[in-house]
A and B are shown apart, each in its own frame.
With several copies, the nearest count.
Chain A
């Protein structure tokens, strides 16, 4: 950066803006902003395109004269659009986050929190379970041969189908509240962790395992000193997927618990009443939540990797 300054001396005005631009481009803000702007633009295009047939139908039924400008304006202001315009979604989010008490059941923040808590609980249980299973699979041949196929099979069970039954059964044995929902998150999130960690625990090079063998290192020692550190990159990649799936699980799990509260209930109620704008607002909240969770895992990854002396 400093080295480039003397070279840029002639025409310093443009060079200055150049570096400012570069500094922004090197950061994340500008690229994200540009990509977002592009997406928003395309989105507006689609809003008009997708909502137009309905709007034209309205005009015809009401026998009104209309111009293209009218059409563009009206397609972005429908009450139940096929695709709501970005500003409609934002307005709805503003209304349901800022303008209401966070504790009110109309507050999106409240619903997000409910979903988040079961996501986190489920994710924590799921990751732990996944790691433990992977440990078992890597260390016990019987488990390797027999459990893995059934872990895979378990994932092909459509969770939404069993979720109500799980909830009913758990209710029958006295479990209710956060845990049943969290268990559905667990069910979805342990799988990527198992798959990733089995791979990770098996990723040490032959020579490294040989070295541990020459020390007659116990399995536990080999595990903590070699397998675990080698598997960490896999752990974090898996956890990114797992935390995102966990959220999906929590949302799915909210349906059979009676669609009472949480982003899932909100989505459902929205679709039940055809409130597209409300669906999209909830959808965005969910996505924002997921993005922050994934980013958080990513941050953890960077910190841990830096502590492990990874090459920058």
Chain B
């Protein structure tokens, strides 16, 4: 039960897509009528891809990530993760999730918060210490190990929650606006780090962001969504090389892709 994550990856999965949504719909029942958060979403994410989701606020990005994570049940359609149902994948600890809000436990210090998934997944005390130190360093929080969440600034809390998701080795990372509350420099740094991690480990990453440059810089594919009912209006393949220095952002190719994304967003907005 407490076996380290992701050892249940079936062999077949290496060829099949990591995330596969077919005609996915989700409607929330609220007191004053149903809210359609996702409508007929078809999407397939292959192994090792870096897919960004971009779209106006409230369009269903978070909801889609939550469906992948088996935190929300679709009302129609089908979702497969690593060829398994979402639930089976979750049970196999197939992914790490960074929530939009930090969601740290107030009674745990920062290092204990980061150690939480490691404790649950049964890592040894030594390995826990090591990994906590490494990931806290990655997000520039060394020195704050013993602080409680309320003693940290908003951005620091968000970084702690990123560290928490990176501390264990999931092949799939679901990240919901992880860098929303960070300054440009830290953000650039973490973007680089994330790319580096991704290239090194061949993880698959689903990444929600509001920043078009960030999406273009990071992704192999950019999924543009439109609001209410949330659907996929455009999928843009990136032609950028896998190796991406920060100043790639000034190349015409980059700007061209960013422009296409912006157009896609606008188009989705206008037919609302």
User: In the complex, which residue of chain A has the Cβ closest to the Cβ of B94?
Assistant: A216
**B116 near A: Cβ within 8 Å?**
yes
User: Chain B nearest CB: distance from A94 CB in Å?
Assistant: 45
Chain A residues close to B by CB (< 8 Å): 205-208, 210-218, 221, 225-226, 229, 232, 308-311
Please encode chain B, from 51 to 81, with 1 for each CB lying within 8 Å of some chain A CB and 0 for all others. Answer: 0000000000000001001110000000000
User: In the complex, which residue of chain A has the Cβ closest to the Cβ of B147?
Assistant: A309
User: In the complex, which residue of chain A has the Cβ closest to the Cβ of B2?
Assistant: A218
| Given A210-B71, A309-B109, A309-B148; A217-B120 close (CB under 8 Å) | yes
Q: Are B69 and A309 in contact (CB-based, < 8 A)?
A: no
Q: Are A215 and B120 in contact (CB-based, < 8 A)?
A: yes
Q: Are B119 and A225 in contact (CB-based, < 8 A)?
A: yes
| Given A225-B119, A225-B120; A215-B105 close (CB under 8 Å) | no
Return chain A residues, CB-CB under 8 Å to B121.
215
Return chain B residues, CB-CB under 8 Å to A211.
97, 99, 103
Return chain B residues, CB-CB under 8 Å to A221.
119-120
Task: Give which listed residue, A207, A218, A311, contacts B99 with CB less than 8 A.
Answer: A207
Task: Give which listed residue, A213, A218, A225, A229, contacts B90 with CB less than 8 A.
Answer: A213
Return chain A residues, CB-CB under 8 Å to B96.
214
State in angstroms the CA–CA spacing of A144 and B119 once bound together.
29
Return chain A residues, CB-CB under 8 Å to B93.
215-216
Chain B residues close to A by CB (< 8 Å): 1-2, 66, 69-71, 90-93, 95-97, 99, 101, 103, 105-109, 116-117, 119-121, 148, 150
- Residue pairs across A and B with Cβ atoms less than 8 A apart, 28 shown, are A205-B103, A206-B150, A207-B99, A207-B103, A208-B105, A211-B97, A211-B99, A212-B120, A213-B69, A213-B71, A214-B69, A214-B71, A214-B95, A214-B97, A215-B93, A215-B121, A216-B92, A218-B1, A218-B120, A221-B119, A225-B116, A225-B119, A229-B105, A308-B107, A309-B106, A309-B107, A311-B148, A311-B150
Return chain B residues, CB-CB under 8 Å to A207.
99, 101, 103
Return chain A residues, CB-CB under 8 Å to B70.
213
Return chain A residues, CB-CB under 8 Å to B91.
216
Q: Are A229 and B99 in contact (CB-based, < 8 A)?
A: no
Pairs of residues from A and B, 5 with the lowest C-beta to C-beta distance, nearest first: A309-B148, A308-B107, A214-B97, A207-B103, A217-B120
Return chain B residues, CB-CB under 8 Å to A232.
107
User: In the complex, which residue of chain B has the Cβ closest to the Cβ of A221?
Assistant: B120
| Given A211-B97, A215-B120, A215-B121; A229-B107 close (CB under 8 Å) | yes
Task: Give which listed residue, B103, B107, B117, contacts A215 with CB less than 8 A.
Answer: B117
Return chain B residues, CB-CB under 8 Å to A218.
1-2, 120
